């Protein structure tokens, strides 16, 4: 007999400094993901703008501010532009694997290099190995870690240059957190490549969307998300397509359907 579904209890955090817009404060509403219906609840909440962190689903609930907007890429319609196609060719040698959600020393070492170089003063700057293990392993839903490695040599596994904690939801892939080699001279554009790989994987799996989390208009840190068109944002009326001026493709060139991924 299936256990009855219980409506979740929601809570609100205390105000804290906004990590995206200087001078603003943020507040979140959240609920626990637990029990036999955790995946169904996570799917339902994901469709209305919630994100997962370990066993908690949350979304912004700020007073007098709606700058954080949930966005998702339409996987079946995405066509890489000229710059993105060049990036795909440059990294075509990478070996990609979906690994169980189990943290490794190699992953954590890469994460630390990434945080120290890209986000030294961010909210995750103090993350230690146990914190990382909790982030990866404490998942009540279907999750995995995508690993991106350089080619193997002499039978030995290639160097890890990128990773992404990913949830498999009923209607798409949700990219929880990605990190990669921060030295642009080693593997440039890895963040963009990881997103495109997820788009192609969602398409092959018959999943319509790739959830990228929140986009914040006016935040340079979030501008990259709108490069992946077509993209939808969530507003009071539901999901709608949008194209910020800076994201409009300049070369107007697209690949034919079925020619990629």
All structural domains of the chain = 11-69 (no CATH), 71-247 (3.40.630.30)
Phi/psi region, residue 49 (left: phi>0; alpha: psi -120 to 50; beta: rest), is left
pLDDT of residue 186: 86
Other Cβ atoms less than 10 A from the Cβ of 206: the count is 8
Signed CA dihedral, 91, 73, 30, 40: sign only: negative
Tokens standing for 50?
Answer: 């919630």
pLDDT of residue 246: 63
Q: How far apart are CA 254 and CA 21, in angstroms?
A: 34
Q: How far apart are CA 12 and CA 183, in angstroms?
A: 38
Q: How far apart are CA 191 and CA 188, in angstroms?
A: 8
Closest among 239, 237, 211, 209 to 225, alpha carbons compared: 211
**Rg for the chain, CA atoms, rounded:** 19
pLDDT of residue 5: 59
Residue 114 host element (H or E)? helix 105-118
Signed CA dihedral, 72, 75, 81, 84: sign only: positive
Tokens standing for 26?
Answer: 């943020």
No. of H helices and E strands in the chain?
A: 5, 14
**Is this prediction's pTM over 0.95?**
no
Q: Sort 142 into a burial class: Cβ within 10 Å, 0-12 / 13-18 / 19+.
A: middle
In sequence order, the 6+-apart residues with CB closer than 8 A to the CB of 59 are 28, 29, 30, 45, 48, 49, 50, 51, 70
Can you list the residues of the chain whose pLDDT is less than 70?
A: 1-5, 245-261
- Hunting for tokens 């990913």 — which residue is that? 166
């Amino acid at each position: 007999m299936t256990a009855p579904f219980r409506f979740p209890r929601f809570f609100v955090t205390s105000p804290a400094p906004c990590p995206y817009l200087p001078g603003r404060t943020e507040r979140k509403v959240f609920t626990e993901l637990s029990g036999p219906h955790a995946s169904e609840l996570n799917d339902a909440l994901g469709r209305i703008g919630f994100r997962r962190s370990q066993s908690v689903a949350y979304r912004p609930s700020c007073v007098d501010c709606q700058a954080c907007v949930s966005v998702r890429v339409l996987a079946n319609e995405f066509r890489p532009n000229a710059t993105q196609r060049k990036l795909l060719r440059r990294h075509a040698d990478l070996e990609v694997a979906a690994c169980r959600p189990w943290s490794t020393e190699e992953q954590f070492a890469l994460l630390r290099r990434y945080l120290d170089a890209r986000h030294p003063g961010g909210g995750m700057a103090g993350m230690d190995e146990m914190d990382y293990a909790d982030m990866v392993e404490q998942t009540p839903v279907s999750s995995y870690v995508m690993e991106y490695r350089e080619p193997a040599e002499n039978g030995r596994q290639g160097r890890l240059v990128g990773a992404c904690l990913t949830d498999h939801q009923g209607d798409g892939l949700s990219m929880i957190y990605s990190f990669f080699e921060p030295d642009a001279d080693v593997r440039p554009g890895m963040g963009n490549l990881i997103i495109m790989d997820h788009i192609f994987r969602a398409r092959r799996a018959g999943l319509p969307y790739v959830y990228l989390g929140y986009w914040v208009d006016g935040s340079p840190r979030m501008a990259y998300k709108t490069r992946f068109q077509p993209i939808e944002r969530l507003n009071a009326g539901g999901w709608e397509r949008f194209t910020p001026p800076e994201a409009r493709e300049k070369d107007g060139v697209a690949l034919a359907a079925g020619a990629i991924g």
